[in-house]
Structure 1
Amino acid sequence: MKTSFKLGATAGALMALGATALSAQELPDTMVWTSYDVGSAGYAEASAIADAFGKEFGTRVRIQPSGSGIGRLQPLLQGRADYAFLATEAFFMAEGAFDFATPEWGPRALRAVAGRPAGITLIAAGDAGINTVADARGKRIAFVAGNPSVNVKCEAILAFGGLTLDDVEVVTFPTYSSAMASMTRNESDATCTTPTTSQLYELAESPRGIQYAPLDADNTEGWEALLKILPIMGPSEEDVAAGLPEGEVAKMAAYRYPVITTTVDKSADEVYAFIKALDETYDIYKDGTAAMSRWTLEKSGRPAIDVPFHEGAVRYLKEKGIWTAEDDAWNAKRTERMNALMAAWETFKAENADLSEEDYAAAWMTRRDEVVAGLN
C-alpha cells in the first residue's frame, strides 16, 4: 500500500507536469505577424491582441508592418510570418486579381482564422440628391488611384443599385485622404467607405451635410448583384457613423478588416490554439480600440469573409457552437471557387507565357470571370 501510494503520487505529479507543459505549448513562445502600417486600425488591433497573448500566455509577438498588400503577404507565404492581419488583398490574392494577376503571383490557397466586421456603403454629400444607390446615376463618385481594395467595393455597391462605372462619373484622387475629403470641397458627390472615417465628420458638419445610401438586407436582387462582384460581404446595421443621429442605424454592407490570415498548410492544431487564445483573451483586448468589441467570435468567426476558414479554426468554432451547417456550405463553396481558379491559373499560365505583363493581367482577369461564372 505504501509503495502503491508513492507510485500513484509520482504518476499524478508527472501527469500534472505534463498537463502544465501541454498548456504552455499550445501557443509558440514567439510569433511574427504582419499588418498595415503603424497608425492604422489593423496595426492597433494586432498590437492589442499581441499584448493580450503576452499577458495571458507569455507569447512574444513581433508585428511587421507594411504599407502594401504584397509586403504583408510575402513574409507569410515565405514562412517568415505566422499570421497576417490583412484587408481585401486576402481576397485578391486568392483570386489572382489586380496586383496579383502577374505570372509571379496568381491565386494562392490562403485561409482565414477570424475577421472583424466593418461597415461600408455609398456615403454622399447631403445636398447631392443621393438617397439611394440608384440615385448616384450621373453623379461624381470619388475613387482612389491604385487602390483596388476601396474601388472594387464601390463598384460592387453601385451594382446593388443597378449601376456600373459607366453610369457614374468616376473622379480619381491620388490618396485615400484626398478622396474622402473631396465631398466637403465639392469635388465629388459620393464615395464608398467606412462610416467613421475622420473626413466624414467634417462633411457632416459642413454646409453640404451627409447622407447614407441604404443597402437593405431584404433587397435580394441588389445583394445578388453586389455579391457577383465581391462575394465577401453581407448585410450590416451600423449605429456609430458620422452625422448619424443617436438611436438610428444605417443599413450597410459588412466586409472584414482586418482578416487574420494564414496559409492552407498551417497546422490545424496551431490554428486551433491561436483562435482559442483569441477567444480566451477577448476580455483583455476588447477595449483596446473602439472597434475591438467586434472580435467576439460570434461576429468575427462567421462567413462571409475573404477566403475559406482554416480547418483548425472551424474545429474550434464548432466546439463553441458558433459554426453552423450554413457556414459549412459557404466554406465548401468558397473553397471550390479558390481551387477552380488555382487549376485554371496553371493552364492559363502555360498557354500565355509570351504575353506582356499588361496583356497577361487583362487576359487572366477575363479568364477568371469565365471560371467564376461557370461555378454559379
Structure 2
Amino acid sequence: MTFRIHRRTFMGGAAALAGSAMLPRGAFAELPGTMQWTASDVGSSGYVEATAIANALIEKHGTRIRIVPSGTSIGRMMQLKQGRVNMGFLANECFFATEAIFDFETREWGPQDLRALMGREALFGIVTAADSGVKTLADLKGKRVARIQAHPSTNFKVEGVLAFAGLSWDDVEVVEVPAYSAGIQAVIDGNVVAAGAVIGASLLRELEASPRGIYWPPVPADDQEGWDRINRAAPLFAPSTMVNGPGATPENPVPLVAYRYPILSVYADRDADEVYELTKAIVEAYGLYKNAAPVMSAYDVKEAGHPPFDAPVHEGAKRYYQEIGNWTEEDEVWNEARLERLKAVQAAWDGAVEEADQNGVPDAQWPEFWAEYRATHLG
C-alpha cells in the first residue's frame, strides 16, 4: 500500500476552552438538537480539540453539545458502546478495540465494530540524544530503550517504529519506566539510549537545549520494505515529515511516523445519514475552529479526511467525502483492506470463543488463550 506523505508544521500547545456551551437550536436541521461526545480528561489535547469543534457547531447550527471527559480508554469506549454519547474523540484504543488487544482482549469486550469519521495527524518517533552514536533505527539493536509501564499506546508505537528496522522489543534492552515523561527524562539523564515520543512533548525542548542535543533516527518514506514491516502490524501508521519542532527545521526536516489523534469515532451501526450530516457539519465549520488552538489547522479535510485511521471509515463519512471529491482510489483500497481485516478478527474471535467453550477454558485463562489463537489464525 502506498501512503500519502504530509508535510506540515507541527507545534505543541493549545488554548483553554470551555467544556460545554449551549445556545437555542437554530433553523438548521442537519444535526440533532442535542449531542454528547466523549473525549479524554479536561485540559488534555483531545478535550480541547473536541470543545473547539463543538463550539463551532454550536455557533453555526445552534445545536447543544456536551463534552463528557474520561481519563481512561475503557471509560470512553464504554460510553460509546452503551450509546450514551454520539461520538468519541478516541486515541489508539480505537485500534486496540477493533483488534481485541490490551484492555479489549477480555471476553466482555472482544473486537469492536468501530468506524472513523476523520482524524487529525500527529507525529511520533523514537528520540535519542545527538551524542548517543545512534544514527539509524537499526543502531538501537542491543541498546537500552524505555518501555512505559501500563501505557500500551506508546509502547505499541515504539514497537511499530522498531519494526521499520526489522527489530522488536526482544532485540533491545528494555528499561521499564513509570510514565511517558519518565521515558524522555531517562534519555536526558542518560539512563536509556532512546524512548518513544510525540513531537509536542515539552521535555523534548529540554533535550534539544541540553549539551547532548536531540536526534530522531529517521523513518524515510521511500523505504517501502520498512513501511511494509510497520503496516503488517499497524495499518494506522503512515509516513510524514516534521519540518518545525524539536530537532527539525524547514531546512533540516525529519521523516517520522504519522498516526491520528484524536480519531472521531462511532460504531458501524450508527445511522449513515446522521454520520454524513455530522461529518459535513464538522468539515464546513472548519473556518470557525481552525484558529482555536495551534493544532486545529490539522483538521483541514484535505488531510484529516483521508485514511489511514485506526478503524475503517464509516459509510456516511465516506459518502460525504465522495460527494466533495475528497475520496481517492487509494483511500478505497485502504478502507476495503481495513474492513477485511476487521472481519477476519471478528471471525477469529468467534472461532476462539467456540473452541474455548468446547474445551472448558476458564475466563481467567482467556487472555492467554486468545493471544495464542490470534497469533495462529491472524498472524
**Partner-residue secondary structure (3-state), 2:187:** coil
Partner of residue 332, structure 1: 336
Question: Which one-letter code corresponds to 1:342 in the other structure?
Answer: Q
Query: Identity of counterpart residues, as a percentage?
Result: 43
- Separation (CA, whole Å) in 2 of partners of 1:201 and 1:109: 39
**Once superposed, what is the RMSD of the aligned Cα atoms?**
1.6
Deviations 1:145-184 (A, max 9, x none): 1111110110111010121111111111111121222211
> Matched residues in 2 for 1:115 and 1:297: separation?
9
Secondary structure (helix, strand or coil) at the match of 2:53 reads helix
Residue 256, structure 1, aligned to residue 260, structure 2: yes
Query: Which residue, out of 36, 39, 45, partners 1:41?
Result: 45
Tell me what 1:293 maps to: 297
Structure 1 counterpart of 2:302, which letter? Answer: E
Q: Paired residue for 2:123, among 98, 119, 138?
A: 119
- 1:323 is matched with 327
Partner residue in 2 for 1:341: 345
In the alignment, which residue of structure 1 is the partner of 2:70?
Answer: 66
Contact 1:337 1:372 in 2 (8 A): no
CA distance in 1, matches of 2:208, 2:49: 27
Quick check: 1:27–1:57 contact (8 Å CA) kept in 2?
yes
SS at match of 1:291: helix
Structure 1 residues 155-214: Cα deviation after superposition (integer angstroms, max 9, x where no partner): 111010121111111111111121222211222111122112111111111122100111
The answer to whether the 8 Å contact 1:159/1:226 transfers is yes
How far apart are residue 247 of structure 1 and its match? 3.2
Instruction: Tell me, in whole angstroms, the C-alpha distance in 2 between the residues paired with 1:312 and 1:149.
Output: 28
CA distance in structure 2 between the partners assigned to 1:359 and 1:131 by the alignment: 43
Q: Which residue pairs with 1:162 in the alignment?
A: 166
Aligned partner (choices 76, 92, 99) of residue 88 of structure 1: 92
Aligned counterpart in structure 1 of residue 205 of structure 2, from 197, 201, 211: 201
Deviations 1:123-164 (A, max 9, x none): 111121111111111111112111111101101110101211
After TM superposition, give the deviation of residue 358 of structure 1 in Å: 5.5
Distance 1:245 1:324, change over 3 A: closer
Letter in 1 for 2:327: W
2: CA distance, partners of 1:67 / 1:92: 17
Q: Which amino acid aligns with 1:336?
A: E
Residue 191 of structure 2 corresponds to which residue in structure 1? 187
- Cα separation, 2, equivalents of 1:176 and 1:338: 29
Query: 1:174 aligned to 2:178?
Result: yes
Shift of 1:246: 4.8
Provide the C-alpha distance between the structure 1 equivalents of 2:354 and 2:26, rounded to a whole number of angstroms: 47
- Deviations along 1:326-347, one digit per CA (max 9) or x if unpaired, are 2112111111111111122122
Determine whether 1:27 maps to 2:6. Answer: no
Cα separation, 2, equivalents of 1:272 and 1:160: 36
Cross-structure match for 1:109:
113
Task: Confirm or deny that 1:360 pairs with 2:341.
Answer: no
2:61 maps to 57
**Which one is further off, 356-365 or 36-45?**
356-365
Give the residue type in structure 2 aligned to 1:118: A
Q: Which runs of 5+ in 1 are unaligned?
A: 1-20
Report the equivalent of 1:270.
274
Q: Aligned partners of 2:277 and 2:257: how far apart in 1? A: 30
- SS of corresponding position for 1:305: coil
Q: Does residue 214 of structure 2 align to residue 210 of structure 1?
A: yes
The answer to whether structure 1 residue 284 and structure 2 residue 309 are counterparts is: no
Shift of 1:245: 3.5
Find the residue that maps to 1:24 and give its secondary structure: coil
- Give structure 2 stretches of 5+ with no counterpart: 1-24
Q: CA deviation at 1:23?
A: 6.3
Amino acid at match of 2:373: R
- The 8 Å contact of residues 196 and 240 in structure 1, kept in 2 or not, is answered as no
Cα distance in 2, alignment partners of residues 70 and 84 from structure 1:
12
Q: Which one has a larger percent helix, Structure 1 or Structure 2? A: 1
Q: Distance in 2 between matches of 1:52 and 1:371?
A: 45
C-alpha displacement of 1:311: 0.3
The structure having more radius of gyration, on CA atoms, is 1
TM-score, structure 2 normalization: 0.90
**Paired residue for 2:13?**
none
Amino acid at match of 1:24: F
Q: 1:19-74, CA deviations, whole angstroms, 9 ceiling, x for partnerless residues?
A: xx996221111111111111111111001101101111111111111111100010
Native 8 Å contact 2:53 2:289 kept in 1: yes
1:371 aligned to which of 347, 367, 377: 377
1:246/1:235 Cα in 2 relative to 1: closer, same or farther (>3 Å)?
closer
Cα distance in 1, alignment partners of residues 181 and 68 from structure 2? 24
Query: For the Cα contact (< 8 Å) 1:340–1:371, is it kept in 2?
Result: no
Q: Deviations over 1:202-237 (max 9, x none)?
A: 111112210011111110111111111211111101
Contact 2:26 2:62 in 1 (8 A): no
